Chains A and B, each alone.
Chain A
Amino acid sequence: MAKRLGVYVCECGTNIADKVDIDKVLAVVRSLKDVVVADRYKLLCSGDGQEYLKQSITENGLTHLVVAACSPKQHETTFMNVCERAGLNPYLFQLVNIREQCAWVTSDGEAATDKAIRQIRAAISRVHYHTALEKKGMECNPDVLVIGGGIAGIKASQILAAPDRKVYLVEKTASLGGKTRRFSKLFVNMESGPALIAGEIERLQKNKNIEVLTESEAEQILGFLGNFEVKVVSKAEDKEAKEQNFNVGAVVLATGFDLSDAKGLPQYGYGTLDDVYTSLDFEEMNLADGPTQGKILLKNGQPPKSAAIIHCVGRAEKGYCSKVCCLYSFKFDRMLQSQLAGVKIAHFYSDLCIPGKANQKFYEDSRESGVEFIRSAVTEIAGGDKGLTVKYESESGAKGDLAVDMVILLPAMETSGDARKFAEMLNIPQDDKGFLAEEHQLLSPVASAVEGVFVIGCARGPQSIAESIVQAEASAGKILSALVPGRKLELEVKTSQILESFCTGCKTCLEVCPYGAITFDEDRQISVVNEVLCHGCGNCAAACPSGAARLKHFTFPQLYQELKEVLR
């Protein structure tokens, strides 16, 4: 079919018309091959202007449209919509910027006109090489897999589940609740962890849209956003392993944390001296079903008269602050004081980390109740006949020691051991501290670099229960917004394609793709782009040595035409 190009130059009131000699531009444009109509208009983005364009497309039977006006960032969408309304594929159109990048930045009218002519010619040549592109949609599965049955995983499951959206909650151990279930009290308001979890479990059991799989692990997850294939293996003790296969649209990782190993820091005497405990040990001690039935006791069976709480254990080695330890240490103060009248407590710390509206008061209450805060570095916990001695050094260098019955260490929090397994399975980067990395530290705190996979809770960094719950709800917000049951997933139109006949199988494109959107087809020995994951950046097209990878709408021939004309 013969090409029929229409070219329109917008005056933009006086903004373009005052600087660019539009009649001169039109004279040049009209002489170009395939240009059947070229004209000027006062303001093309106005209602009248858009109607004018639409009419013109129809009346002139245009096959391609070029508009020279403001920046595509202003009105590319506007004019693409006009094309659609006129029945012209919106990708057979090019908007030339002769305002922000021409009329507004060139004081000499002649130079501005020349530049405008060059850029418009570039667009006209380019548009000859445009192809019609269609919007694409993909069926997707709205169900969700949640890995990790702690508070974050539980909350995510509850908020996501609906009659048309099933949630699979997979938990490695026999019981849900993670660490929270083993905290007799939660800061700041001292709620009961076990009671909270018991309530959540009851709600979960009543929810027909959540399938809880305990003593289970996801062994294989293949696929991409909207279409993951999952294999879960359940193995209860003494029972046979059971395999389950199902499809989901999104995966939420909530694998939680572990405490770093205090035994690796011998100066604290953990594991060698009696009555040196980690925070998790102390939490266990306070539980009714714990080793001492909830009573705070020393190894000799007696209640302690004094306790030292050592902050920042392992902080220097790990290289980060674990955020919640200061706060839960004040919780420990209350737990000690409520059981042991007159107990003397001393905190050894470097910097208090108590951000947020409610937390300073929590600290001040501890201090006012007689708890001592000694800003210092603890050099050693020594044992002896008379109990433990905390040896410390203040910031000024002064040395001191304090005799105590019990020492509670607050070790750094790390991501749980399972994180690595899923990081590898799903190709999610771990940061240099081992935590699962977010897509963007500021703008996308719960999404991962892999579309459709979310990371929440302590799996991605040390944080409080409140923050973990926020992230659980945030991941739900993102999933509920993107995967709507019955609605197709809208895909990027200007994606990359790899032409089989040109591809030599060098795999360079796989390495440069920031989204992991390219896979290698071993049978055909060529690279293949997954159009669901492709964001259309064109890095593969630039890297491909054989020209097999082509970015739609930014192909080499198209860009070459622009180059050719601007350098005329």
Chain B
Amino acid sequence: MGEGFTPRIVGFLCNWCSYAGADLAGAAKLEIPASLSVIRVMCSGRVDPVLVATALLRGADGVLIAGCHPGDCHYREGNYYARRRFALLKKTLETLGLDTKRLMLAWVSASEGQRFGEVANQFAGQIIGAGIAGIEASLLLANSGRKVYLIEKTSYIGGNVIKFEEVFPNMDCATCMIAPKQQELLANENIELLTLSQVEAVSGAAGDFSVKIKQKARYIDLVNCIGCNACFDPCPVEVDNEFEEGLTKRKAVYIPCAGALPNVPAIDTENCLRFKGKECQACQEACAFEAIDFDQQDKELELKVGAIVVATGFSMFDIGKISQYGYKKLGGVYSAMEIERICASNGPTQGEITLQSGEAPKSVAIINCVGREEKGYCSAVCCMAALKLCHFLKNKLPELKITQFYSDLCIPGKAYQHFYQEVKDSGVDFIRAEVTGISESGKELAVKYKTGEGKENSLAADMVILNPALEPGAESAKLAGMLNIPQSREGFFSEKEPDLTPVATAQDGIFIAGCAQGPKDIAETIAEAEATAGRILSRSG
């Protein structure tokens, strides 16, 4: 094989994860070898050895099979069969004298555009040398035949779940997991999605509510825009990206992150030069599709509906209120959400775990229950989220030393204790103590803590992750007032009868689901969303 040899590769990509990952690589304009030809299949398990053999016989220099990560298969276990078949195929080909480096099996998730790029390029190289309570409730109601209006404050769907790279307890890829639901939502004719929209007023009663909505203009036409992102580069304005917890910048015309849906940007009028009175139309000039329309206006809509579901999610306790933790003051001190974004393959560091210096940390301290005393409740999911971070970080950086500080381990339910044990066995230390302060100590941080017996101690760490309490979403009080439903002492929306009607409120026809109702995990959130659909569709009176 001499110079100028371009290996011809056939890639069998599964429809749900790897094909989507390949598309994402496209959206990100990565360079993929032109000699890689793609054949789409529904499941990597569809690829039978004869197809692979045929490809090789017809002159393919390499065959790539890509599917969902094990455990994430859209058809539950298809990729396990692919894996087994592949192992046997490799052995068989080896016996026949074929170079098995010409075969590759890769797991590429829908959010791993970067990784698809790497796999595709690596393979060629190898030869010479891929917000959920509302979504769930909407889908169930729409599929039964009801018309649904889905009101979303931001410009994108998926809420907080799409910020996580992996979720407990099975380390599922969060974006892959909900991608099919998001796509189903966007394609469903019974669902009218209203982004950049908020409720202004509500009147009426169950069966006949009148809801006034204010929809802010996006300034980009949802039909004309094809999501090519050409408008970003020319924009002269750079601001902190809130989705990325301020760890990176975005433009005034922006999409919060790669893969966000709908794949159409919005203009942030608070920072856009034009909307602040200056001359600029750089984005419009760069758009080949006449998709940018500065003349769009905010809209007021009045919707008539029979029932309302509140699924406004959560926000996080403001860690800055606990000044002794040094948040936003000391380098190396991060919030859990910042770390989630750092872990994300579509995040500010493409999943590379580094300190501000650019180096990987050698030791990490995770502080749980931040804000618990101030808020007066246990946020239910943080212990598990911290364990997930341990699992993820240890996988990325096997030599990393992790210490968790906690008060009570909250790991309820059948699946979670096993996960805890696994993390513990991987060498993570657990110290039951109250963390009294974090300070700088040379190049490292010093975590000062007090155990139950009153003994004071200190631990050195490169990086500290603060795990804060979950609070109700920012607009909850206003919304509760408009809907005339009480809030609990903690600010969450209240159930009608706390122990017996968890998703119903004091107002007939108005339901609550997910973290709007109280801190909880994804499974409980989905169950509550489905329960609101059950109540709405029920005709039992």
Taking a contact as CB atoms under 8 Å apart, the answer to whether A463 and B413 are in contact is: yes
Q: Which residues of chain A have C-beta atoms less than 8 A from B46's C-beta? A: 537-539, 541-542, 551, 554
For the complex, is B331 an interface residue (Cβ under 8 Å from A)? no
Contacts A111-B34, A563-B58 given; indicate if A357 touches B143 (C-beta within 8 A). Answer: no
How far, in whole Å, are A442 and B526 apart by their CA atoms in the complex?
8
Residue numbers in B under 8 Å from A539 (CB-CB): 43, 45-46, 75, 78, 81
**Which of A72, A351, A477 is close to B534, meaning CB atoms less than 8 Å apart?**
A477
Report B524-537 CB contacts with A as 1/0, cut-off 8 Å: 10111111111101
Q: Are B23 and A101 in contact (CB under 8 A)?
A: yes
Instruction: Render B499-541 as a binary contact track against A, CB cut-off 8 A, 1 for contact.
Output: 1111100000000000000111111101111111111011110
Q: Which of B169-177, B345-353, B390-398 contacts A (4 or more CB under 8 A)?
A: B169-177
Contact of B537 among A114, A395, A470, A480 (CB under 8 A): A480
Q: A15-B288, A539-B75, A542-B81 are in contact. Are A191 and B499 (CB under 8 A)?
A: yes
Return chain A residues, CB-CB under 8 Å to B139.
481
Within 8 A of A (CB), among B179-223: 181, 183, 187, 223
- With a CB–CB cut-off of 8 A, which chain A residues contact B529? 474, 477
Query: Across the two chains, which residue of chain A brings its CB closest to B20?
Result: A73
Docked CA distance A160–B522 (Å): 24
Q: How far is the CB of A181 from chain B (nearest CB, A)?
A: 14
Query: Within 8 Å CB of B416, what residues of A?
Result: 320-321
- Which of A115-123, A128-136, A259-267, A378-386 faces chain B? A115-123
Q: A466 near B: Cβ within 8 Å? A: yes
When chains A and B are docked, how far (Å) is the Cα of A441 from the Cα of B35?
40
Chain B residues closer than 8 Å to A563, beta-carbon distance: 10, 39, 51, 54-55, 58, 60
Which of these binds chain B: A240-248, A278-286, A358-366? A358-366
B289 beta carbon closer than 8 Å to chain A: yes
Do B502 and A101 touch across chains, with their CB atoms under 8 A apart?
no
Q: Which residues of B contact A480 (CB under 8 A)?
A: 140, 144, 533-534, 537-538
A484/B145 in contact, CB under 8 A: yes
Residue tally, chain A, CB below 8 Å to B: 121
A8 to chain B, nearest CB (A): 16
Question: How distant is the Cα of A536 from the Cα of B527 in the complex, in angstroms?
Answer: 27
Query: Closest Cβ of chain A: how far from B34's Cβ, in Å?
Result: 4
Q: How far in angstroms is the closest Cβ of chain A from B353? A: 24
> Cβ of A395: which chain B residues have Cβ within 8 Å of it?
432, 452
- A186 interfacial contact with B, CB 8 Å: yes
Q: How would residues 460 to 482 of chain A score, 1 for a CB under 8 Å from any chain B CB and 0 otherwise?
A: 01111111011111111110111
Q: Which residues of A sit under 8 angstroms from B535, Cβ to Cβ? A: 159, 473, 476-477
Closest partner residue, chain B, to A203 (CB atom): B540
Please judge, given known A-B contacts A115-B34, A478-B140, A563-B58, whether A162 and B539 are in contact too, CB under 8 Å: yes
| A contact residues around B518 at 8 Å (CB) | 356-358
Expressed in whole angstroms, the minimum distance between the Cβ of B188 and any Cβ of chain A is 11
Contact among B58, B172, B533 with A564 in the assembled complex (CB-CB below 8 Å): B58
Given contacts A196-B500, A441-B415, contact A554 B51 (CB under 8 A): no
**B459 interface residue, CB < 8 Å from A?**
no
Residues of A within 8 A of B527 (CB): 445-446, 467, 470-471, 474
The 8 closest A-B pairs by CB, nearest first: A100-B26, A538-B46, A355-B380, A477-B534, A473-B531, A476-B534, A566-B37, A474-B530
Q: Taking A105-B31, A358-B488 as given, write out 4 further A-B residue pairs in contact, using a Cβ cutoff of 8 Å, ordered by the A residue number.
A: A106-B32, A354-B408, A355-B410, A477-B532
Interface residues of B (CB under 8 A from A): 8, 10, 19-20, 22-27, 29-32, 34-35, 37-43, 45-48, 50-51, 54-55, 58-60, 73-78, 81, 85, 117, 137, 139-141, 143-145, 167, 169-170, 172, 177-178, 181, 183, 187, 223-224, 226, 228, 288-289, 376-381, 408-418, 421, 432, 452-453, 488, 490, 492, 498-503, 518-524, 526-535, 537-540
Ordered by A's residue number, 7 sampled pairs between the chains whose C-beta atoms are within 8 Å are A47-B223, A105-B25, A114-B34, A353-B412, A559-B41, A559-B51, A566-B39
